[in-house]
Chain A
């Protein structure tokens, strides 16, 4: 994804290493290689590649990962601001 990196230092993804059991699911489901496994423990390798999709937290059996998931979509966020509700994406394709 060279040339496809977005703003730095914004992602809400957090890993509580003490709760990790080393199953490796986070590394498997992340489409941007944010996590890496070393010595049967997950660590965050590339936080700034994170797009906050929430796949890692969803598939972590011990809730060691937290992230505020959502749609990275300007139109959805604008609609959310205007209507005062949670940003909803109208994307169907």
Chain B
């Protein structure tokens, strides 16, 4: 579409099967670094000089959410170059930031296209943007809109007023579930190395090293590792608000421990006591560690808190894993 500052690409709000496939892929961590759109100004619907300017990030999953949720609006979309990172993380890194807003406003010659001097930013962009500095640097005043793009239309209908609920982040079950694939995908490589170590450990026994034992006992050990990862990366995130304790390592340790007790009861006929205890400990330790890593995916854990938790939990997790290893190898000699 033509504007006083030259042509501006027009976008639609339809989400097609390619967008859905793309979203599914990046949820599993495939090509996530390259999932981006070009930064700049876009027109949604038929915006005129008085239409609102919505500012967002150039991560395509973010861009898609905004154009989908803004369906029916006539608005300008000012997309910042956040290197394909979502608003919240990019604000933390400073790429969704004061300077980028000022630069993008100037580059798109926004002041020639709209008659007002107001930008609408997502609230979660605020850690990177100083509203008063943007006003000084660009002449545009910043209004922080709702946390979630799905509230944009209600926010605009209410005369740019956010209800208290629009200003709060929440973390519903579906959101937590959507984040579990990436947790698992990120763990595949370290889990592969850990599995190799477990197979090797399992081969030691009275005959010094036995390939048969490595295979047979190793399989049980790797199954315990996999169950621990599942407990920490899927079960704990889904059950998060209902698990006791504040520390994620406690929540994860409990989940892994309960799951391990069930597994040991189920396999009690084929396990010796030291081996059973070793599997129980390693599952709890792995689940506790993996659950602790989920802090990075949540919108409510503070860095001071995570650091405090890690200083306490890491030695316990390492100690449990070491004890499990000793029991596992030692148990092979006394049966």
Q: A6-B302, A32-B169, A55-B126 are in contact. Are A72 and B84 (CB under 8 A)?
A: no
Scan A23-63; emit 1 where CB is below 8 A from any B CB, else 0: 00100111111000000000000000111111100110100
Partner of A93, one of B86, B306, B308: B86
CB of A63 to closest CB in B, whole Å:
10
Chain B window 267-293, contacts with chain A (Cβ cutoff 8 Å), 1 for yes, 0 for no = 000000000000000000000000011
Interface residue from B32, B85, B144, B296 paired with A29 (Cβ < 8 Å):
B144
Residues on the B chain within 8 Å of A75, using CB: 293, 296
Q: Inside 8 A of A54's CB, which chain B residues have their CB?
A: 92, 127
The 8 Å CB contact of B89, one of A6, A78, A92, is A92
- Report chain A residues within 8 Å CB of B147: 31
CB distance from A62 to the nearest CB of B (A): 10
Task: Enumerate chain A residues within 8 angstroms of B168, measured Cβ to Cβ.
Answer: 1, 31-33
Given A4-B240, A5-B246: A74 and B295 interface contact (C-beta under 8 Å): yes
Contact with B along A57-93 (1 / 0, CB 8 A): 0110100000011111111111000000001110111
Q: How far is the CA of A55 from the CA of B168 in the complex (A)?
A: 13
Q: Which A-chain residue is minimally distant from B295 (CB atoms)?
A: A74
Which residue on chain A has the smallest CB distance to residue B131? A59
Number of interface residues of B (CB under 8 A): 56
Q: Closest CB of chain A to B131's CB: distance in Å? A: 5
Contact of B59 among A31, A72, A93 (CB under 8 A): A93
Residues of A within 8 A of B170 (CB): 1, 4
Choose one: A25, A55, A71; the contact of B303 (CB below 8 Å).
A71
Residue total for A at the interface (Cβ-Cβ under 8 A): 45
Residue A69 contacts which of B26, B127, B144, B306 (CB distance < 8 angstroms)?
Answer: B127
Of the residues A72, A88, A93, contact of B295 by C-beta under 8 Å: A72
The answer on a CB contact under 8 Å between B241 and A76 is: no
Are A69 and B92 interface neighbours, CB within 8 A? yes
B75-104 near A? 1/0 per residue, CB < 8 Å: 000000000111001011100000000000
Q: A10, B300: Cβ atoms under 8 Å?
A: no
Flag if B132 contacts A61 (CB, 8 Å). yes
Residues of B within 8 A of A91 (CB): 85-86, 89, 296-297
| In the complex, A7 has a CB within 8 A of chain B | yes
Q: How far is the CB of A8 from chain B (nearest CB, A)?
A: 7
Q: What is the minimal beta-carbon distance from B301 to any residue of chain A, in angstroms? A: 4
Instruction: A87 to B310: give the CA distance in the assembly, Å.
Output: 14
Nearest CB of B to A79, in Å: 11
Q: Mark interface residues in B142-182 (1 if CB within 8 Å of A CB, else 0).
A: 00100100000000000000101001111100000000001
Chain B residues near A55: list those with CB within 8 A: 91, 123, 126-127
Question: Of B89, B170, B292, B304, which is in contact with the most chain A CB atoms at under 10 Å from its CB?
Answer: B304
CB distance from B312 to the nearest CB of A (A): 10
A87 to B296, CA, bound (A): 11
Known: A74-B296, A91-B85. 10 other contacts (CB 8 A): A4-B240, A8-B246, A28-B123, A32-B169, A58-B127, A58-B130, A70-B303, A71-B296, A88-B93, A92-B33
23 contacts between A and B (CB under 8 A): A1-B170, A1-B171, A1-B300, A3-B240, A3-B242, A7-B302, A7-B309, A11-B302, A31-B123, A31-B169, A32-B168, A49-B300, A51-B302, A59-B132, A71-B92, A72-B296, A73-B297, A74-B296, A74-B309, A77-B306, A91-B85, A91-B89, A93-B32
In order of increasing CB-CB distance, the 10 nearest A-B pairs are: A3-B241, A73-B296, A70-B303, A55-B126, A72-B301, A29-B126, A7-B305, A10-B304, A52-B302, A31-B169
Chain A residues within CB distance 8 Å of chain B: 1-8, 10-12, 25, 28-33, 49-55, 58-59, 61, 68-78, 87-89, 91-93
